[in-house]
Amino acid sequence: LVTRENPYLVGGCKRTGDINECDFPSVYPCFGLCINTIGNYNCSCLAGTQSEGRHISFFGFLIFLILMHSAFYHRRNRRRHQK
């Protein structure tokens, strides 16, 4: 586990420099682009993704709509031909 020592306690400031939080994804999770800053880190989503790395896909939704429309269209035509 990565810990930060308290610089206000005697002997508490043991580290020199900054902790690179991006090197410890289990402690500092980032599913996108991790950028280390002094005393912190920034996590930016990659293009086409949102929080926690889930992809947002317009094309997947469009394919779903086309398949649903096709299924309803064929079902309606089948019922018309049965009458």
More confident residue, 33 or 55: 33
Mean pLDDT of the chain: 76
Average of per-residue pLDDT across 12-17: 57
Cα distance between residue 31 and residue 45, in whole Å: 7
Are 75 and 68 in contact by the 8 Å Cβ rule? The answer is no
Q: Token pair of 45, please?
A: 């989503």
Dihedral (CA of 60, 63, 64, 65) sign? positive
Are 21 and 28 in contact by the 8 Å Cβ rule? The answer is yes
pLDDT at 1 over 90: no
Dihedral (CA of 59, 64, 65, 69) sign? positive
